[in-house]
Amino acid sequence: MLSTMSLRGPRLAVPDRVRWAVELLDPDPAEAILEIGCGPGVAAALVCERLDTGRLLAVDRSPVAIKRTAQRNAAHLASGRLAVRESALDALVVPPHCLDTAFAINVNLFWVRRPDRELAVLGRALRPDGILHVLYGAARPTAAERVTSTVSTALRTHGFTAVTISMEEFGIGVSARAPAASPAETAPHARCELG
């Protein structure tokens, strides 16, 4: 099901799974956030509408997705709330422990194969108590328990803690806190440059 809303411009169709995911994410206006697999930029638009001093880095390995996200969110790019980057997650480079939150909507790599390299990147990029949300729409590709069990196990294996599962009308997901950092890694860091 789709609903529409105005996001400082033309009306935009927002799938219920995306609206649900952004509500679950509930971004703080000052957060540094990573969207993994930004697709056409619908979630990026919703997240950026909630940011003030915070920033969103939207990544996708598809150049078409990056172009669509940039076009849909030109005002957010111009304001500095959004940066877009063509990159596979396992090749993403950001400063250590600079992200407050990371999220993915309908990104299958977390349950169809071992996401070792990707979770290592996220473990380094998220601050020690940062949160990762791996979310899927209600029209999921397979049984919810299989997806959430596989994702939960992978997160725990890579040191993520406080793993919780959400199963709601418009989606399912697994959320977890990033692994603890060593004392040397916990020094204060400058504002995360995501561009």
Q: What is the CA radius of gyration of the chain?
A: 16
d(CA 3, CA 16): 7
Domain for residue 61, yes or no? yes
Enumerate residue ranges in the chain where pLDDT < 50: 1-10, 183-184, 186-190
Domain for residue 95, yes or no? yes
Which residues span the domain enclosing 170?
2-182
CB neighbour burial string for 36-67, b if at least 16 within 10 angstroms, e if fewer: bbbbbbbbbbbbbebbeebbbbbbbeeeebbe
pLDDT of residue 5: 42
pLDDT of residue 117: 96
Q: What are phi and psi of 152, to 5 degrees?
A: -60, -45
| Token digits of residue 139 | 């029209």
Query: How many angstroms separate the first and last alpha carbons of the chain?
Result: 33
pLDDT of residue 138: 78
H or E stretch at 75: helix 74-79
pLDDT of residue 7: 44
Adjacent-strand bridge partners of 165: 174
pLDDT tens-digit readout, 12-37: 689 999 999 999 999 999 999 999 99
pLDDT of residue 54: 97
| Conformational region of residue 32, where left means phi above 0, alpha means psi within -120 to 50, and beta covers everything else | beta
Domain for residue 193, yes or no? no
CATH number, position 129: 3.40.50.150
Domain for residue 189, yes or no? no
d(CA 159, CA 161): 6
Domain for residue 38, yes or no? yes
pLDDT tens-digit readout, 77-100: 999 999 999 999 999 999 999 999
d(CA 146, CA 127): 29
pLDDT of residue 36: 98
Q: How far is CA 159 from the centre of its chain?
A: 18
- Number of independent structural domains in the chain: 1
Domain for residue 190, yes or no? no
pLDDT of residue 114: 92
pLDDT of residue 140: 53
Domain for residue 15, yes or no? yes
Q: What are phi and psi of 170, to 5 degrees?
A: -100, 0
Domain for residue 130, yes or no? yes
pLDDT of residue 115: 95
pLDDT of residue 146: 85
